[in-house]
Structure 1
Amino acid sequence: MEIAGKDDRYRKLIVGLSVIIPLAVAVLFGVKVEGYDFSFLPPIYATVNGVTAIILIAALVAVRSRMYKLHENLMKICIGLSALFLVMYVLYHMTSEPTQYGGEGASRYIYFTVLVSHILLSVAVIPLVLFTFVRALSQRFDRHRKLARWTFPIWLYVAVTGVIIYLMISPYYTS
């Protein structure tokens, strides 16, 4: 009973964070802080997304190879990288003018389709990651595996499309 209670204890915190984080990001997009130049961040946070994707795949290989401690450590690194990405992303957008995508034709439709799906799934992945993580910490591995089957591909998609979005919009950044 103690173990099941651990899941419940974190439920409100996870739900709260899952609402607060996207709302805070949306609000902070409207805040412009002058006098700072974080224009160097987009290639760094795109790289963080790419590294996250690689480590997610390595973590999947580790768990399938029954290397559970390695899997746990890799997943903790992915969570840390995702938090680092979020901080850099917000810093950049609070201190820089928005960049408009300049592509035309089919590339424009592809870009916005990828962008919208990326944004929606990046919001959805927050509670998925946190609940999956708590289930592992609570040693509820049956429930952890069931949720991880959904969390992993969504998180991987968000990480990979973050790189794709950067590559597509990077020619339009102004220095």
Structure 2
Amino acid sequence: MIDEVSIKEKRFNKWITVISVAIPLVVALLFGYKLPNAEPLSFLPPIYATINALTAILLITAVVAIKNGRRGLHQKLMTTCIFLSALFLVMYVAYHMTSESTIYGGEGYIKYVYYFILFTHIVLSIAVIPLVLITYSKVYLDDFESHRLWAKYTFPIWLYVAVTGVIVYIMISPYYQT
């Protein structure tokens, strides 16, 4: 007989799969679509870079909180990080639907550094979606041991994505059209 936790976990896993596939697909589709006659939202990149920086700070603060036994604060900080990541995504897509993509203008080895950081940032930002959702779901299933195990992988990847988002912005910002 299947217990209630297994049923809930299967339900969570179905939604995690759907969301983890849908978000990158929708972002890819919307990234290539330009809203006709839309005013460019050129003010957004520094805002969503700041959101990435804040997410990185809150991720670190959340880890410190849980290590100090402040479970409630940890949960609030992690929920805030998920909200900030979603807000970032909405702003990022809105910017790219109203503005032309900016070409990185650096030359020499720094160009390869930039593209390496950008590539790993994009790939890991896709990979972190199911990791965050699985890690978060374990709390609702009261499976704190699994939550801790998943968090050991999710945290550094999510932190990398947040920090490299800021680095990418700093590196490309001199080339934005004003």
TM-score, normalization by structure 1: 0.98
Is 1:99 equivalent to 2:105 in the alignment?
Answer: no
CA contact (8 A) 1:55 1:74 kept: yes
Cα root mean square deviation, aligned:
0.8
User: Pick from 6, 31, 34: which aligns with 1:32?
Assistant: 34
Amino acid at match of 2:61: A
Amino acid at match of 1:123: I
1 CA distance for matches of 2:10 and 2:143? 12
Structure 1 portions without partners, runs of 5+: none
Per-residue deviation at 1:168?
0.1
1 CA distance for matches of 2:80 and 2:7? 26
Is 1:112 equivalent to 2:101 in the alignment?
Answer: no
Match in the other structure for 2:12? 10
2 CA distance for matches of 1:87 and 1:60? 26
Matches within 5 A, 1:1-175: 1-33=3-35, 34-175=37-178
Per-residue deviation at 1:60?
0.1
Identity of aligned residues (%): 58
CA offsets 1:58-114 (integer angstroms, 9 cap, x no match): 000001011001000000000000000000000000000010000000110000000
CA contact (8 A) 1:56 1:75 kept: yes
CA offsets 1:127-157 (integer angstroms, 9 cap, x no match): 0000000001111001111100000000000
1 CA distance for matches of 2:64 and 2:9? 26
DSSP-derived class of the 2:158 partner: helix
CA contact (8 A) 1:4 1:138 kept: no
Per-residue deviation at 1:35?
2.2
2 CA distance for matches of 1:111 and 1:5? 44
2 CA distance for matches of 1:52 and 1:4? 32
DSSP-derived class of the 2:100 partner: coil
TM-score, normalization by structure 2: 0.96
Count of residues paired in the alignment: 175
2 CA distance for matches of 1:94 and 1:62? 38
